[in-house]
Amino acid sequence: MSKKITIEPVTRVEGHGKVTIHMDNNGNVYQTRLHIVEFRGFERFVQGRPYWEAPVLVQRLCGICPVSHHLAAAKALDVIVGAGTGEGLTPTGEKMRRLMHYGQFFQSHALHFFHLSSPDFLLVSTATPPSET
Amino acid sequence: MSKPVIATTSLAGCFGCHMSILDIDERILQLFDLVEFNKSPIDDIKKFTKPVDIGIIEGGCCNSENVEVLKDFRKNCKILISLGECAIMGGLPALRNGIPVEECLHEAYIGGPTVQLNTKHILPNDDELPMLLDKVYPCHEIVKIDYYLPGCPPRADLIWDALVALITGDPLKLPYELIKFD
């Protein structure tokens, strides 16, 4: 009997996902698939909005890494307003963005270590019923 | 007395509200003393294993799976809380409500300037994927919601105060500073 194992939801990422593992009659895995089950349509609905809204709108793509999306939109705005691809930024502007990026980096790693990974590694016996995951 | 049981989920949200729950910082240890978590991304329990007292919903409903999960929460939770703008009114994803869903899919997968590899113009259409809804719906249009905590995301202090008030039965005081919408 071929068998399918479904892991849903995948909880250690944003971007609601599901993993299906497909096995043949002998129980060997022949395919593993990652499904991104969420579609929100940012690509279309940011169009037509005031351009200065973009950094704040795209923050909502991901509550785990909002600053990264904010900075990406800010870079796009640089081009739109004629500040080029970096050379038009003031030194202070560039430093601020670097600081924000490092802050995001630091926050993301702390979050991943303290809230996402460590409890799974350290508390797995109490946090997860044996029948699951 | 056994501890109240809490479950949480993220529907059409960004997990920002869950991040805000974690922003209660070291009080999370107190929270684990006060309550027991069931189905939630926080402990990775994927299915309800017992009746739940407080269900916390982040995000509105943008696809059939969101609706199923939300109904499952209503069935298993005594109290349901809509946490954040998306759950309360659809939030940012509801900006697509004035646009045909086909246009959104086309922009994302076929016509958008950053689409490069989809030469066969395929739209996601796998059996494993949930059906997209025509619009993004706030949770209270699908099931009964008992409490609403506003904010994008709601402040960590707001979440903490509301949970403590619910658990202890004390009246909830919400100073103006805590009710922020961004």
Rounded to whole angstroms, how far apart are CA atoms A103 and B148?
31
Question: Would you give the DSSP letter of residue B154?
Answer: P
Q: Which position has the token pair 């005594």?
A: B78
Flag whether residue B93 sits within 8 Å of chain A, measured between CB atoms.
yes
* Structure-block tokens of residue B104: 């959104």
Cβ distance of B16 and A61 shorter than 8 Å: no
pLDDT digits (tens, 9 = 90+) for A41-57: 999 999 999 999 999 99
Q: Which of A32, A44, A75 to mutate to test the interface with B (most CBs of B within 10 A)?
A: A44
- What does the pLDDT read at residue A127? 47
Nearest to B65 among A33, A37, A111 (CB): A37
- What are the structure tokens assigned to B25, written together? 């910082």
Look at residue A117 in the predicted model and tell me its pLDDT.
Answer: 79
Q: What is the mean pLDDT of chain B?
A: 92
Residues 6 or more apart whose CB falls under 8 angstroms from that of B171 comprise B165
The answer to whether the CB atoms of B16 and A60 lie below 8 A apart is yes
Say if residue A12's pLDDT is above 90.
no
Give the tens place of pLDDT for each residue, B53-94: 999 999 999 999 999 999 999 999 999 999 999 999 999 999
Asked whether residue A122 carries a pLDDT value surpassing 80, the answer given is no
Q: Where are the domains of chain B?
A: 5-95+132-178
Sign of torsion, CA A23 A28 A30 A33?
Answer: positive
State residue A48's pLDDT score: 94
| β-bridge partners, B9 | B57
pLDDT at A123: 65
pLDDT tens track for B19-41: 999 999 899 889 988 999 999 88
Positive or negative: CA dihedral A110, A112, B181, B162: negative
Whether chain A has a CB inside 8 Å of the CB on B13: the answer is: yes
ipTM: 0.87
Per the CATH hierarchy, to which homologous superfamily does domain B5-95+132-178 belong?
A: NADH:ubiquinone oxidoreductase-like, 20kDa subunit (3.40.50.700)
For residue A88, name the pLDDT band (cuts at 50, 70, 90): confident
Higher pLDDT: B72 or B181? It is B72
When pLDDT is averaged across residues A93-122 and rounded to a whole number, the result is 88
pLDDT in tens, B105-124: 999 999 999 899 999 999 99
Q: In this complex, which of A11, A35, A44 lies closest to B129 when CB atoms are compared?
A: A35
Residue A123 three-state SS: coil
- pLDDT value of position B115: 92
Q: Where are the alpha helices (DSSP H) in B35-182?
A: 64-76, 85-89, 101-106, 156-168
**What is the predicted pLDDT for the residue at A11?**
77
> What pLDDT, on a 0 to 100 scale, did the predictor assign at position B68?
96
pLDDT value at residue A133: 43
Task: Return residues 56-75 of B near A (CB < 8 Å).
Answer: 62-63, 65
Q: Which residues of B touch A132 (CB under 8 A)?
A: 44-47
